[in-house]
């Protein structure tokens, strides 16, 4: 079974699968991030024996910019600890949907929203909701790698510092643990002080993943995370993403149908501002219930 470095971040060492592998990677066990107390649901799920409850629930979610409606009336429950792929042609509203889940659209001029999004049963738009906390719980990986203009080590620590998650003494261990987790450690351990912009695109994206994981998110939002990368990097990142579940909930926008089939447990198909179909990935691709889905996944529209 894969290493559960991420489980450490949840402070949920009770997971039966988590224990032995933590012992295997001593550095990770030494880093006690434990920012968010693990919910019982999660602990049960790490056990692998219970069906996952929903991590993200949308209720009548309607999104738009100005007078234009981009996405209409979406009601879904996105299960915890799985990879959910969001597919659909350009302009179908899937990226807008994704960026609403961590409220990145709030800043966009003219953005309008009706309906609600619940994260772990709580509205993310409530008046008491702190954006900083919300975004700590929902990490994001972008279409192109976006390292910060600071050293490799500082990139990994950027969120850790901003949220004051760990003491200075623990930083080196965090850097190593996170870089090992994304398989970047061996490539960069000798040059942690160097600029990240000298890394390859794939390595930069892995660094961004390490940076996002370092703050211990529950949900990871990925906006076409491999579309700008070479095939080998794509393979490496896809393999990593598979290892992040079930400790994390992954929601991935992708234009690559083959990728959606390879990595996701279930798939949402968006078309012309509607959520057309949401089903287990195999079923959506092999026996789509809607005619639009069938036409899209067989390449006849899109």
Partner 1 sequence: MSSEARLQPAETGGQSGRRAEKGTGGRLVRLVTGSAAWLPLLALLFVVVSLVVEALPAIRVNGIHFLTGVAWSFGNAYGAVVKTHGVPHPQGASYGALPLIVGTLASSAIALLIAVPVSVLSALVLVERLPRSISSLVGLFLETLAGIPSVVFGLWGALTLGPVLAHHVYPALASVASAVPGLGYFGGYTGNGEGLATSGVVLAVMILPIVAATARDLFRQVPDLPKEGARALGMTEWEVATRVTLTWVRSGLIGASVLGLARALGETMAVAMVSGVELGAIPHNVYAAMSTVAATIVSQLDSAFTDSTGFAVKTLAEAGLLLAALTLLTNVVARVLVRRVASTALPVGRGV
Interacting residues toward partner 1 by CB under 8 A: 102, 104, 107, 131-136, 139-140, 142, 144, 146-154, 157-159, 162-163, 168, 171-172, 175, 192-195, 208, 211-212, 215, 221
- State how far the Cα of 281 lies from the Cα of 293, in Å rounded to an integer: 12
Give whichever of 133 and 298 is closer to partner 1, judged by the CB atom.
Answer: 133
In angstroms, give the least distance from the CB of 170 to partner 1.
10
Residue 282: count of CB within 10 angstroms of its CB: 13
The DSSP letter of residue 299 is T
Written as six digits, the tokens of 226 are: 């491999």
Pairing mode, if any, of strands 219-223 and 138-141? parallel
Give whichever of 189 and 298 is closer to partner 1, judged by the CB atom.
Answer: 189
- State how far the Cα of 174 lies from the Cα of 170, in Å rounded to an integer: 6
Give whichever of 149 and 291 is closer to partner 1, judged by the CB atom.
Answer: 149
Q: At what angle do helices 231-244 and 201-213 cross, to 10 degrees?
A: 20
In angstroms, give the least distance from the CB of 243 to partner 1.
21
- State how far the Cα of 269 lies from the Cα of 142, in Å rounded to an integer: 20
Half-sphere exposure of 76 (CA within 13 A, CB side): 25
In angstroms, give the least distance from the CB of 265 to partner 1.
23
Residue 256: count of CB within 10 angstroms of its CB: 17
Cβ atoms 264, 244 nearer than 8 A:
no
Residue 43: count of CB within 10 angstroms of its CB: 18
Give whichever of 112 and 151 is closer to partner 1, judged by the CB atom.
Answer: 151
Cβ atoms 157, 171 nearer than 8 A:
yes
In angstroms, give the least distance from the CB of 201 to partner 1.
13
In angstroms, give the least distance from the CB of 207 to partner 1.
11
Give whichever of 54 and 192 is closer to partner 1, judged by the CB atom.
Answer: 192
Give whichever of 194 and 282 is closer to partner 1, judged by the CB atom.
Answer: 194
Give whichever of 164 and 300 is closer to partner 1, judged by the CB atom.
Answer: 164
Cβ atoms 250, 220 nearer than 8 A:
yes
- State how far the Cα of 93 lies from the Cα of 274, in Å rounded to an integer: 8
**Could you tell me which residues are beta bridge partners of residue 250?**
83, 220
In angstroms, give the least distance from the CB of 177 to partner 1.
13
In angstroms, give the least distance from the CB of 131 to partner 1.
8
């Amino acid at each position: 079974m894969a290493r559960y470095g991420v489980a450490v971040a949840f402070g949920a060492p009770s997971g039966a699968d988590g224990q032995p592998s933590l012992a295997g990677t001593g550095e990770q066990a030494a880093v006690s991030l434990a920012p968010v107390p693990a919910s019982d649901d999660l602990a049960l799920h790490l056990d692998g024996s219970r069906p996952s409850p929903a991590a993200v629930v949308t209720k009548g979610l309607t999104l738009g910019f100005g007078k234009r409606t981009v996405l209409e009336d979406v009601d879904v429950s996105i299960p915890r600890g799985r990879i959910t792929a969001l597919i659909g042609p350009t302009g179908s509203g899937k990226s807008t949907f994704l960026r609403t889940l961590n409220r990145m659209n709030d800043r966009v001029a003219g953005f309008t929203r009706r309906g609600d999004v619940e994260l772990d049963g709580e509205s993310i738009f409530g008046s008491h909701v702190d954006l900083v906390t919300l975004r700590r719980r929902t990490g994001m990986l972008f279409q192109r790698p976006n390292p910060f203009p600071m050293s490799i080590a500082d990139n990994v620590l950027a969120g850790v510092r901003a949220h004051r998650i760990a003491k200075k003494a623990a930083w080196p261990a965090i850097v190593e643990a996170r870089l090992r987790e994304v398989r970047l450690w061996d490539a960069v351990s000798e040059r942690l002080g160097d600029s990240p912009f000298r890394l390859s695109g794939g390595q930069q994206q892995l660094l961004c993943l390490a940076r996002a994981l370092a703050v211990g998110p529950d949900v990871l939002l990925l906006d076409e995370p491999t579309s700008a990368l070479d095939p080998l990097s794509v393979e490496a990142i896809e393999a990593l993403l598979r290892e992040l579940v079930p400790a994390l909930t992954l929601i991935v926008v992708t234009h690559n149908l083959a990728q959606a089939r390879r990595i996701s447990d279930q798939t949402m198909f968006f078309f012309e501002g509607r959520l057309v179909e949401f089903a287990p990935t195999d079923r959506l691709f092999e026996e789509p219930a809607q005619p639009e889905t069938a036409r899209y996944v067989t390449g006849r529209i899109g």
